[in-house]
């Protein structure tokens, strides 16, 4: 009985934990803060390709095109030529949003 009570206390404490950045209880995801840019894909190699392009001075659009091409090779049934590419792009020069 003591073991069961101890186990229930441990489980309840883990459910009460807070998100590490926001401090909110029961947060589903942690916030990620990027100072110079970020890339998120479904494949780590495609993510690295996008990061490399950004580090070499490429734009977010350059990185997105390269990542989409890489994912077409790495996950041909999920993306690639003829697939969907949803993007919202802010042009800082013209102050216009494209989507």
pLDDT > 80? residue 49: yes
Asked if 52 and 67 sit in the same domain, the reply is yes
Asked if 47 and 23 sit in the same domain, the reply is no
**Segment 70-87 mean pLDDT:** 77
Q: To the nearest 10°, the Cα dihedral for 86, 90, 91, 96?
A: 100
Asked if 13 and 53 sit in the same domain, the reply is no
Asked if 22 and 61 sit in the same domain, the reply is no
pLDDT value, residue 29: 65
**Segment 59-73 mean pLDDT:** 90
Instruction: Work out how many domains the chain is built from and give that number.
Output: 2
Asked if 75 and 89 sit in the same domain, the reply is yes
Range(s) of the domain holding residue 23: 1-33
**Segment 66-75 mean pLDDT:** 90
pLDDT value, residue 99: 80
pLDDT > 90? residue 79: no
pLDDT value, residue 21: 57
pLDDT > 90? residue 6: no
Tens of pLDDT along 8-22? 776 776 665 555 555
- Comparing 33 with 41, the larger pLDDT belongs to 41
């Amino acid at each position: 009985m003591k073991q069961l009570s101890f186990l229930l206390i441990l489980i309840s404490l883990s459910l009460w934990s807070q998100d590490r950045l926001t401090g909110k209880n029961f947060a589903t995801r942690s916030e990620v803060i990027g100072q110079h840019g970020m890339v998120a894909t479904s494949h780590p190699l495609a993510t690295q390709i996008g990061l490399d392009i950004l580090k070499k001075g490429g734009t977010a659009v350059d990185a997105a095109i390269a990542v989409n091409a890489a994912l077409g090779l790495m996950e041909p049934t999920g993306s690639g030529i003829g697939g969907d590419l949803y993007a919202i792009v802010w042009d800082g020069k013209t102050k216009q949003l494209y989507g």
